[in-house]
């Protein structure tokens, strides 16, 4: 069942009323015009010469192309003017009128004016129910309604896409209609997912994996099926499905996100070592694969590494936290990225009792930041300097205490290298 309440039944009629103000050339507005054209003028009108008709048609086509181009460029006001000129034309052919309506609806959808877009799509479907572009209009209308949060109506429109393609004759354009029907099934699954109906979404995505789809579409269906299981709360099923997806679709664009979700799911299932291994696999992924989409890979590598490393550190698993921080620091040479991670690595060294390495890491932060560090590094440099002072004070105090007890027992104090010597040590 749909969790969100659906709009009243009269929503479609409300859209139809709204379109009167949006589409000046619509049939309903023309039928209700207050001043009908004079019969004598119509009777005395001279036939238009073929050359003039051709020029008028070329002008209409030019306006349609201009409107589409302006829409893609984001100049929506100018695009609307172009489409409305076509709609207001007295001699606009029916096919061009349909194109203008769809172009205007697409423009409003791109502009984020979803209610206006939905109203115009509804007007098109009412005026031209048997048009060849009906499945395309239904698909865009469903997407628009989904963006408005009207999930039940959106799903109905997507089912209408499938039904409308079955009624169209086979022949030219048949492959396009087949693609629309498959796309509509994808959109139904996506809509269930966005509506929070993850069990239903998972069923649809699982079915889509069995269809004769393009490899990229089947891979996405597999990925989304795993995501649906995770959101439903079935972590065991999600882990198994994510693993199967990673094994089958090595080059899919969702691989890095799948690794992140797998690692988080394993951590939630209290399998820290498996989560740790998945994280390392993501950080050490082949450079050739990362180079195909560096921004996407970098985002998920950083998010996965940071989240899992911080989680390990907070739960006392310092060795695993240190290993992930060390892998993360190699992702970028930028000081704003490396220095905060170096600070976390130094904290790990402190907790492990390797104080000379901790001091060396803190000193690297102070030296790299300089005397006048940038604003984003000033606080980090101040904290690193304080940690150095703290470690040196702790070292001096330990030495003084050791000397005191050695003097009272008559034993020679053990000589250990001072921590200050570690300031020049190499950065980890």
Question: In the structure encoding, which two tokens stand for residue 409, read together?
Answer: 């027992």
Minimum mean pLDDT among 169-183, 278-292, 403-417: which range?
Answer: 403-417
Of residues 422 and 314, more confidence is placed in 314
Q: Are 358 and 427 in contact (CB under 8 A)?
A: no
Q: Which helix (H) or strand (E) holds 416?
A: none
The mean pLDDT of the chain is 83
pLDDT band at 90 (very low <50, low <70, confident <90, very high): confident
- Flag whether pLDDT at 40 surpasses 70: no
Question: In the structure encoding, which two tokens stand for residue 49, read together?
Answer: 């010469």
| C-alpha pair distances (Å), 329 with each of 65, 210, 280, 341, 365 | 50, 42, 13, 6, 13
- Residues of the chain with pLDDT > 70, as a percent, come to 80
The residue length of the chain stands at 428
Contacts of 261 (CB under 8 A, 6+ apart): 226, 227, 230, 238, 242
Q: Are 161 and 141 in contact (CB under 8 A)?
A: no
Mean pLDDT to the nearest integer, 208-224: 90
- Flag whether pLDDT at 313 surpasses 90: yes
Measured distance CA(107)–CA(63) in Å, rounded: 14
Measured distance CA(336)–CA(333) in Å, rounded: 9
- Flag whether pLDDT at 306 surpasses 60: yes
The radius of gyration of the chain from alpha carbons, rounded to an integer in Å, stands at 33
Encode 230-259: b = buried (16+ Cβ within 10 Å), e = exposed. Answer: bbbebeebbbebbeebbeebeebebbbbbb
Angle at 107 between CA 105 and CA 113, to 5 degrees: 80
Would you state the pLDDT for residue 403? 75
Question: In the structure encoding, which two tokens stand for residue 131, read together?
Answer: 């048009």
Would you state the pLDDT for residue 214? 86
Question: In the structure encoding, which two tokens stand for residue 307, read together?
Answer: 């989240």
Q: Which of 421, 419, 368 has its CA nearest to residue 397? A: 419
Q: Which of 368, 376, 374, 363 has its CA nearest to residue 420? A: 363
Angle at 348 between CA 331 and CA 339, to 5 degrees: 40
Would you state the pLDDT for residue 411? 56
For CA atoms 54, 136, 130, 152, the dihedral sign is negative
Contacts of 184 (CB under 8 A, 6+ apart): 139, 142, 158, 159, 161, 162
Minimum mean pLDDT among 12-21, 144-153, 163-172, 404-413: which range?
Answer: 12-21
Domain 1-26+62-196 classified CATH 1.25.40.10?
A: yes
Of residues 19 and 192, more confidence is placed in 192
For CA atoms 210, 217, 300, 331, the dihedral sign is positive
């Amino acid at each position: 069942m749909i969790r969100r309440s659906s709009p009243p039944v009269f929503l479609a009629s409300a859209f139809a009323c709204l379109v009167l103000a949006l589409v000046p050339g619509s049939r309903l507005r023309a039928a209700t015009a207050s001043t009908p054209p004079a019969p004598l003028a119509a009777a005395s009108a001279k036939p238009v010469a073929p050359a003039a008709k051709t020029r008028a048609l070329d002008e209409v086509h030019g306006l349609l192309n201009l409107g589409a181009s302006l829409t893609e460029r984001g100049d929506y006001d100018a695009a609307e003017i172009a489409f409305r000129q076509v709609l207001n034309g007295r001699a606009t052919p029916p096919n061009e009128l349909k194109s203008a309506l769809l172009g205007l609806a697409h423009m409003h959808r791109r502009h984020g004016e979803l209610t206006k877009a939905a109203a115009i799509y509804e007007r098109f479907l009412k005026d031209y129910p048997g048009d060849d572009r009906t499945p395309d209009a239904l698909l865009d209308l469903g997407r628009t309604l989904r963006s408005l949060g009207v999930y039940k109506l959106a799903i109905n429109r997507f089912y209408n896409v499938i039904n409308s393609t079955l009624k169209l004759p086979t022949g030219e354009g048949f492959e396009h209609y087949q693609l629309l029907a498959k796309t509509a099934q994808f959109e139904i699954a996506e809509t269930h997912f966005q509506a929070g109906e993850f069990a239903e979404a998972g069923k649809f995505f699982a079915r889509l994996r069995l269809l004769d789809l393009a490899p990229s579409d089947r891979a996405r269906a597999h990925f989304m099926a795993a995501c649906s299981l995770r959101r439903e709360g079935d972590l065991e099923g999600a882990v198994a499905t994510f693993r199967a997806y990673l094994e089958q679709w090595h080059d899919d664009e969702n691989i890095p996100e799948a690794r992140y979700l797998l690692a988080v799911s394993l951590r939630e299932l209290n399998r820290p070592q498996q989560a740790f291994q998945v994280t390392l696999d993501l950080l050490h992924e082949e450079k050739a694969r990362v180079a195909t989409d560096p921004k996407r890979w970098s985002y998920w590598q950083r998010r996965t590494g940071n989240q899992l490393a911080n989680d390990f550190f907070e739960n006392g698993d310092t060795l695993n936290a240190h290993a992930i921080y060390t892998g993360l620091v190699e992702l970028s040479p930028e000081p704003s990225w490396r220095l905060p991670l170096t600070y976390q690595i130094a904290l790990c060294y402190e907790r492990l009792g390797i104080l000379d390495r901790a001091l060396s890491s803190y000193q690297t932060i102070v030296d790299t930041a300089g005397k006048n560090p940038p604003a984003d590094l000033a606080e980090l440099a101040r904290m690193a300097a304080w940690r150095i002072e703290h470690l040196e004070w702790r070292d001096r105090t330990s030495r003084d205490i050791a000397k005191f007890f050695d003097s009272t027992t008559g034993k020679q104090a053990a000589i250990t290298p001072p921590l200050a010597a570690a300031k020049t040590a190499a950065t980890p």
